[in-house]
Chains A and B, each alone.
Chain A
């Protein structure tokens, strides 16, 4: 193999999606030298690039409007959200998003008002790349990170990965590292989520971090069967039918997912979008060009024909859990290691309800801004500490604990996909099923950690499998311990909320997983 590419920077950002780009920008603006390592291509990778994120957007004036928005959203968080964090991300988003104007052509509405709130994904991510390039960030495309590097004292000091188009490893030593690897979608075919495979969470836990909210992983989005197209706006007009063309009582709203899930467990479900008004049909190609694309290519007129639908599992993307933040700076439990975007838990702003639709993108932007500035501050204050680097932290899939043996990566991915996607396992949850799932996932993870080994570019696939299995285990263990229903987490065997569980739940561990409820009421992050 070729010699590794060795680089140094003040801040290393892992993941070049929405949060990673906002992080890199903030770190560079704070005066740090920044390297951003992206598995795919910074600009097309991550779930924003294929979507059209609408941000949580409430003007600062009158102040009462913001207070009301926060109070309403907090009430839907089932006791797990934190109003102070909500106020923070509303403020940062409001101030920061318009600064993208040199790189993004913001639309002007029919009244001549500039519209900042919602951006189209491919253009948004193209603009984010232009912004970070403009700020002098070094981008490593097609360069998945595989593991973190730590110092003698346990602080994080960089990462190592692979440049997959050059067949060469990379090693970056840095004063601080930010994990912005997105949520874990468990290979569900969720649009744009192919790279969202959980190894970022795994790397962080290997270095000593923990997680929170991993039970909130059962959000699903409707899509035409066999496709990735989870652009769901038009479905707010949808009507649903069974195989005999009987209309089903499935209506848009918070209960739609579960009603659709129940129907899909019984048999195929079809959708008609015949209630979409004519003027909207005509505009759809300019509103959501990718939504119309799949139908055109399948020869379906979605406004006339009925078409089969499926539900795509979102894992922690429009689920909620992720790395737990220890302080106001978006630091994890480990010194030198920060988290931003969907890689971090969004309970602080979303509680137990999905942050999709507005909060997630505001969170990706704001947590990125916070983490980037804080990481830069640490690195500039304390230096890069490269002489003290001692360890490579990666385990499962990189350093088998016993003899390397052949390991079926495809089967491991399929296991994680089904355990975290199948409606009867993940949408409708029961204690005994969760325990059985956890057992299966734990054996697969143990097998991978004991014997799994690969070379060169193949390590990426193995680490992704390890990441998905690990994240699935934390999720099942957390869902099992939360023996109640709260927000999106619904237990068929415990359908009510219980006061004893009205707090956030931490999780972690590799050889064995652990979970622990925080004190009540939900702890403020200091």
Chain B
């Protein structure tokens, strides 16, 4: 579930409020996003992709709200956007999704001798 907004990074742009498919955020004073409906979060991580400031952290646990220490999680911010090659990472990390076909084929080849 969405865990925190890193206040020191957020330069309020409103993207997370607009794009969250579960309408979790609300724009607070100065346009700063507030996590208004945390348990409505569907743990899809997509707000992180759309946050140009890497200010959002989504905890992978979708069933319970786990306490997360923002200081400890800080080094993990932005990983999804970076590895997806979004924004400034576009020419650094290629989209290799198309390899899925060959990966499946190799898994099948590995499985065959066992059966």
Binding site for B on A (CB under 8 A): 39-41, 43-46, 49-50, 52, 54, 105, 107, 109, 115, 117-120, 122-123, 141-142, 164-165, 189, 191-195, 224, 226-229, 233, 236-237, 251-253, 275, 277, 280, 283, 285-290, 292-294, 296-298
Write out the residue numbers on chain B whose beta carbons fall within 8 Å of the beta carbon of A228.
Answer: 42-44, 60, 62
Contacts of A165 in B (CB 8 A): 17, 23
Contact present for A44 and B79 (CB under 8 Å): no
B13 within 8 Å of A by Cβ? no
Number of A-B contacts (CB under 8 A): 147
User: CA A290 – CA B62 in complex, angstroms?
Assistant: 14
User: How many B residues are at the interface, by size bracket?
Assistant: 35 or more
- Which of chain B's residues 2-50 have a Cβ closer than 8 Å to chain A? 17-23, 40, 42-46, 49-50
Contacts of B114 in A (CB 8 A): 251
Main secondary structure of the interface of B (DSSP, over half): helix
A287 touches B62 (CB 8 A): no
CB distance from A479 to the nearest CB of B (A): 27
Contact A122:B62 (CB < 8 A) given known A41-B18, A44-B20, A142-B23:
no
Beta-carbon contact of A227 and B97 below 8 Å? no
Minimal beta-carbon separation of A18 from chain B (angstroms): 14
B95/A107 in contact, CB under 8 A: yes
Query: Is the beta-carbon distance between A52 and B100 smaller than 8 angstroms?
Result: yes
* Complex contacts, B104 vs chain A, CB 8 Å: 233, 236
In the complex, the chain B residue whose C-beta lies closest to that of A123 is B95
Cβ of B71 under 8 Å from chain A: no
Other A-B contacts than A118-B98, A120-B95, A296-B79, 11 sampled, CB-CB below 8 A, are A44-B21, A109-B98, A117-B101, A120-B84, A122-B49, A123-B95, A226-B63, A236-B104, A275-B110, A283-B99, A290-B45
A413→B43 CA distance, assembly (Å) = 18
Listed in ascending order, the chain B residues whose CB lies under 8 Å from chain A are 17-23, 40, 42-46, 49-50, 59-64, 73, 76, 79-80, 83-85, 93-101, 103-104, 106-108, 110-111, 114-115
Which residues from A are CB-within-8-Å of B19? Answer: 41, 43-44
Residues of B within 8 Å of A141, CB to CB, are 18
Is chain A's binding surface mostly helix, strand, loop or mixed?
Answer: loop
Known: A40-B23, A251-B114. A122 touches B60 (CB 8 A): no
CB atoms of B80 and A289 under 8 A apart: yes
Closest to A165 in B: B23
Closest to B17 in A: A165
Assembled-state Cα–Cα distance A233/B73 (Å): 27
- Please determine whether A280 and B103 come into contact, CB atoms closer than 8 angstroms: yes
**Are B45's CB and A287's CB within 8 A?**
no
Partner of A293, one of B20, B80, B101, B115: B80
- Identify A195's interface contact among B22, B45, B60, B63, CB under 8 A: B22
What residue in chain A is nearest B18 (Cβ atoms)? A41
CA distance A123 to B108 in the complex (A): 28
Least Cβ–Cβ distance between A237 and chain B, in angstroms = 5
Measured in the bound complex, the distance between the Cα atoms of B94 and A118 in whole Å is 14
What are the residues of chain A within 8 A of B22 when measuring CB–CB?
40, 194-195
Contact B21 A286, beta carbon cutoff 8 Å: no
Complexed CA–CA distance, A290 and B110 (Å): 25
Partner of A107 from the list B20, B45, B96 (CB cut-off 8 Å) is B96
Nearest-CB residue, chain A, relative to B115: A251
A310 closest partner in B (C-beta): B63
A473 to B87: give the CA distance in the assembly, Å: 45
Query: Known: A44-B44, A141-B18. Contact between A237 and B60, CB under 8 A?
Result: no
